[in-house]
Amino acid sequence: MKPVNSWNFTPYAPLDRPERLTEPYICRIAPGMTTVDFDFIDPGAKPKTTHTLYYRTRGTGEYKALELDKEMHGQLYGLRNRTDYEFYVERDTDGVRSAVRLARTSVVPGKVVNYLHPEDPFYGFSGQYLCSPSLIRLPGGRLISSMDVFEGNKPQNLTILFSSDDDGKSWQYLTELFPCFWGEMFYENGRLYMLAVSDEYGDLLIGASDNEGRDWTLPTVLFRGSSSCIERGLHRAPMRLTRHAGRLWTDVEYGAWAKQEMNNAVLSAPEGCADYTDPAVWSMTSFWRHNDHKNEEGLNPACVGGIEGNVVAAPDGSLYDFLRYENGKCLLLRIDPDQPEGELTYAGVVPMEINASKFEICFDEESGDYFALCSRRVTEGNPTNRNLLSLFRSHDLREWRCTADILDAKALDPQIVGFQYVSFLIEGDDILFLSRTAYGKPHNFHDSNYQTFHRITGFRDL
C-alpha cells in the first residue's frame, strides 16, 4: 500500500476496503419515471471485459439478468413508477460484483446529474444524502458540477464531480475528492481550484486541477478547524468568489450550530496569482461576532449569526458580505477592501421575502442589476418551506422583488420536497443552475436525494 499523492480518487475506498478499488463501481444513477440510467467504471477490468446487470424490485423475487452492450453504461427500462429497485453489475470473466445500489423511479424537474437513494449505504463513510452543489463553466466549454455527501453526525467528507460537454444535456462521472465538504470551484490563470473544508467545521482546504477536473493536487491547509460536529470550527457553503479591487473575495464562518454561535469573516487573495494553493497569498479578516452586536438596531438577539454569505460590490463601489440570517431578513456586513485582514462592520438588515436557506447573488453586467435564486418564503404553512424556488432582482441590494417562481411545488408536501442551495451562472440571456433537490420520496426536504441541472431562458424578461 502506497501513500496518497493526490486529492482525487476514482473511486475513493476506505483503507480497510481495498477491494472496492478493483470492483465494478456504479458511479452515477439517474432515475426516470419508468427507467433507471446508470454509469459504472471497472478499475479491475481487462481489455474487452464484458459485464452483466442484475436487478429486481427491491426485496422481492429473483434477480433478472441484462447483458450490458454499452461500455460502462446501462439502463433499466419498462419499470413501474414510484417503485424501489436494487441492482448490481457483475464482471463476466470472474464474477466480481459491484455493491448493490438502490434507486426509486420518479418524475423529477430538471436533468438528473446524480441520485442517491436515502437508504443506500454505499457512501456511509461520509453520509447518505446529497448536498452543497457547485457549478462552473470552463473556458473550453465544459461544465463541471460538484456535490458532497452528508448526514448529520456523520463524517461528511466526500465530494463527487461530474462533467458535461453538451451544455448540461448529459453528465458523466469525473472523479471524487476526499476529504472535501462545502466546496466551491473557481478558475484562474489556467487552473481549476476547489476551495472547501475537510469536513463539518474542519480545516479550510484548497487544491488545483490542470486537466479540467480529472486530477487534483494534494490540498493545502489554509486554516485549521476543529473537525468536530459539536465544537467551533470553519463553516461555509459553496459561495462564489467575487472580483473586486484587484482581489478575489469569499465568505467564511467560524462556529458551530451546537454552540449556537456563528462568527463571520471574509477570505481573499490577489487576482492573477500563479498558485492559489500557496497559503501565503491568502488573507482573512478578523471575525465579526454576532453575540457582541446583539443590541444593534435590526438584529435579532436570538439568532446565532449570519451564515453562507455572498460577497458583492454595491453600485457605489462599497463591498459587502450579504448573509443568510433569518426568515425574511438578510444580514449586511461592510468589508474594507483596503484592509483584507481588517474588521467587518455592521451595515444593517435587508428585508427579502425568502426563508433562512443558502442562496446566491450574481451581478448582471448587461442590466446592471443583481439577481438571486432563493427558496421563497410563503405566508401559508411553514415559513421554512423550500418547495418554491424563485428568482429575485435588485438594483441596489437593498430593495428586492420576486420576478418569477422557477420551481413551484407548493402543492406537494413541504416536508419531503425541496429545491435549495442552488449554484448558478449567467450565460447570455439564460441562467444555468444546479439544485440540491429533494423529490420522489427522499428522507425529508432537507436530506436531498437528487442533484439536478436546470436552465432559465430569457431570465431578464421574466
The string of DSSP letters for 27-83 reads EEEEE-SS-EEEEEE-TTPPTT--EEEEEEETTSSPPEEEE--BTTEEEE-SPPTT-
Mean pLDDT, range 126-148, rounded to an integer: 98
Phi, psi of 157 (to 5 degrees): -140, 10
Q: Is the pLDDT of residue 2 over 90?
A: no
* Digit-coded pLDDT (tens) for 388-406: 999 999 999 999 999 999 9
Find the mean pLDDT for residues 52-56: 97
Length of the chain measured in residues: 462
CA–CA separation, 372 and 83 (whole Å):
36
- Average pLDDT value for the chain: 96
pLDDT of residue 1: 81
pLDDT tens, position by position, 313-325: 999 999 999 999 9
Cell numbers for 206: 484548497
Phi-psi domain of 431 (left: phi exceeds 0; alpha: psi -120 through 50; beta: other): beta
pLDDT at residue 448 greater than cutoff 90 = yes
Cis link prior to 179 (omega < 30° from 0)? yes
| The predicted structure's pLDDT at residue 381 | 65
Assign 198 a pLDDT band (cuts: 50, 70, 90): very high
Percent residues over pLDDT 90 in the chain: 94
pLDDT category of residue 72 using cuts at 50, 70 and 90:
confident
> Sorting pLDDT into bands at 50, 70 and 90, what band is 380?
low
Q: Is residue 445 over pLDDT 90?
A: yes
pLDDT band (50, 70, 90) for residue 443: very high
pLDDT average, residue stretch 157-173: 98
pTM of the predicted protein model: 0.97
User: Alpha-carbon distance 100 to 177, whole Å?
Assistant: 22
**pLDDT tens digit sequence for 17-35:** 998 999 999 999 999 999 9
- Which residues in 310-348 are b (16+ Cβ under 10 Å) and which e? bbbbbeeeebbbbbbbbeebbbbbbbbbeebeeebebbe
- Could you report the per-residue pLDDT of 109-136, keeping only the tens digit for each? 999 999 999 999 999 999 999 999 999 9
Contacts of 435 by beta carbon, 8 Å cutoff, 6+ apart: 110, 133, 389, 407, 419, 420, 421, 422, 450, 451, 452, 453, 454
Q: Quick check: 251 pLDDT over 90?
A: yes
pLDDT at 412 over 90: yes
For the segment 254-283, the average pLDDT, to the nearest whole number, is 97
pLDDT band at 422, cuts 50/70/90? very high
* Residue 248 near residue 267 (C-beta atoms within 8 A): no
- pLDDT above 80: residue 431: yes
